[in-house]
Chains A and B, each alone.
Chain A
């Protein structure tokens, strides 16, 4: 008996949700290939993958945050700030190794700031990070002085656009990050504590879990991943624009929820996040190629979020269930 098992324990455990996402990705690819002659080219496939790098890294951190019952809506602008720091370092002496260190460092620092507000200051994560979003937006504007940071030297690009044993460095970085996050989540006490906090912070506390420490660390981890994402961003585009990262948080939250991580915490799927990111980027790219203006991209993301959460609410029978219980 007891066929029930905890889901998503293996490195690439796939359940119904993940398989559906995979099918959705393939279906979207087929439809777009038929609809646009420019779609099914190796160049376009590379573009989609290239456009997924930052979101994959940030999505892994967002998965941890949501699984813990947290969230960070300022994460896109955090990447912007880290990118500015990297740009400044590159612009000054062009040392790419220094630039590689600066990204994660600034990310970690900003993660500490977020944690200080949300964890130590006990401000609800959604409110605290919304406040930080406002502050950081202005910070980006002031730091850039209303101009793009552009014409950065190619030293960082040369370092990160290469391949190691035929594997592009970004893919390698994502694989390492994925494995590290998976190990932390499924094979260390930290992961258990994080999931317990996501289930119920009070119960976690009563079980003797260092709740504050675990929550703090998770915001820092998310910051570090975001800093790494910034490094790849700068390496690819060699400029930092005023609107950097403005839709990233929305995209990340959408992809993670799409992947089967609970917005209420306690349950998550890392492979689901990866597939969620890919589906989102495939849809955004495909719609662009069949002639939908990029203005509509956030609409697609927004509709996906609302659709998934609405669908889950109906499946869990939440509104009806509550109603029945209230009457009983």
Chain B
């Protein structure tokens, strides 16, 4: 096994009196698709928001390639090679595709000390990325507000690719997509891993997860209750882990 890209140690997150996450340990490896599963409110989104620098953890630490890191903003996480595609996508509908792909880290040239956008370079780069993704979007100038759900997902993935991310996190990327678009996003997920990226994927669709994931981690009520290699488990076991019917989960929840 390769050295993990990211090690998560004993992470906890509290919102006031509510404990959204407790004692989460996890290793995320390059070239691997890791699926996070769990019921609504299990803490999946909260967990990846911590990885993405959008929430500071209440406890615990993140270690990237042996170095502890502390993110105070999504920009910090991005600088460490973590790109996140949030459930709510975080795209600006009023801006163009190209502007969205580069938002927050635009290409610029300095004229008299003022940073001006390199609009042509950004457009060309996004054009290339969209072709590479086979996204069927011909105009990087179109506002994101005019795109379909799948097209928006492609724009968000472009954003991650453009960052040269080492870890791409996707929160329910296929939830709002039609079948054909879902196929495309899943294929893309595998392609990211083949490029040597670490991929963390949140999904509610278990067959989808078995199609793309190398490893499966199950969250329940803010805890990580199970971790399995996809090849060594099956649909049925995963369902029982999510619902808490599995003996392992029962034993765990009794001790706490």
Contacts and interface: CB of A to CB of B under 8 A. Distances in A.
Whether chains A and B associate is yes
Interface of A: 1-2, 4-6, 183, 187-189, 192-193, 195-196, 198-200, 202-210, 266-267
16 contacts: A4-B142, A4-B143, A5-B143, A188-B108, A188-B114, A192-B103, A192-B106, A193-B104, A195-B92, A200-B92, A206-B90, A207-B103, A208-B78, A208-B103, A209-B104, A266-B92
A188 B115 contact: yes
Contacts of A188: 108, 114-117
Contact of B94 (A189, A208, A267): A267
Which of under 10, 10 to 19, 20 to 34, or 35 or more describes the interface residues of B?
20 to 34
Given A196-B95, A207-B92, 15 more contacts: A1-B138, A2-B146, A4-B142, A4-B146, A5-B143, A6-B94, A188-B116, A189-B108, A195-B94, A196-B94, A202-B90, A205-B73, A206-B54, A206-B90, A207-B74
A7 B222 CA distance: 45
Contacts of A200: 92
Contact of A199 (B92, B138, B146): B92
Interface in B65-114: 73-75, 78, 84, 86, 88, 90-96, 99, 103-106, 108, 114
B137 interface: yes
A205 B88 CA distance: 13
B95 A199 contact: yes
A195 B114 CA distance: 19
B91 to A, nearest CB: 7
A195 B142 contact: no
Contacts of A183: 116
A168 B142 CA distance: 40
Contact of A208 (B88, B104, B137, B141): B104
B74 A206 contact: yes
B141 A192 contact: no
Contacts of A210: 75
A209 B103 contact: yes
Given A188-B114, A189-B108, A192-B117, A205 B94 contact: no
Q: Which 10 A-B pairs have the closest CB atoms?
A: A208-B104, A208-B75, A2-B139, A206-B90, A196-B92, A266-B94, A189-B106, A203-B90, A4-B146, A207-B104
A209 B86 CA distance: 15
A2 B142 contact: yes
A6 B140 CA distance: 11
B139 A195 contact: no
Given A188-B115, A208-B78, A2 B137 contact: yes
Contacts of B86: 206
Nearest to B163: A208
Contacts of B73: 205, 208
A187 B139 contact: no
Contacts of A203: 88, 90-92
A6 B92 contact: no
Contacts of A1: 138-139
A199 B94 contact: yes
Nearest to B78: A208
A192 B75 contact: no
Contacts of A4: 142-143, 146
B141 A6 contact: yes
Given A2-B142, A208-B104, A187 B94 contact: no
A1 B52 CA distance: 35
Nearest to A4: B146
Interface string B10-46: 0000000000000000000000000000000000000
Nearest to B93: A199
Contacts of B143: 4-6
A45 to B, nearest CB: 36
Contacts of A187: 116-117, 119
A4 B143 CA distance: 7
Contacts of A208: 73-75, 78, 103-105
A196 B97 CA distance: 13
Contacts of B95: 6, 192, 195-196, 199
Interface string B50-71: 0010100000000000000000
B255 to A, nearest CB: 37
A204 B141 contact: no
A189 B74 contact: no
Contacts of B104: 193, 207-209
B117 A189 contact: yes
B81 to A, nearest CB: 13
Contacts of B119: 187
A185 to B, nearest CB: 11
Contacts of B108: 188-189
B88 to A, nearest CB: 7
Contacts of A198: 94
Contacts of A206: 52, 54, 74, 84, 86, 90
A209 to B, nearest CB: 5
Contacts of B138: 1-2
A175 to B, nearest CB: 18
B181 to A, nearest CB: 17
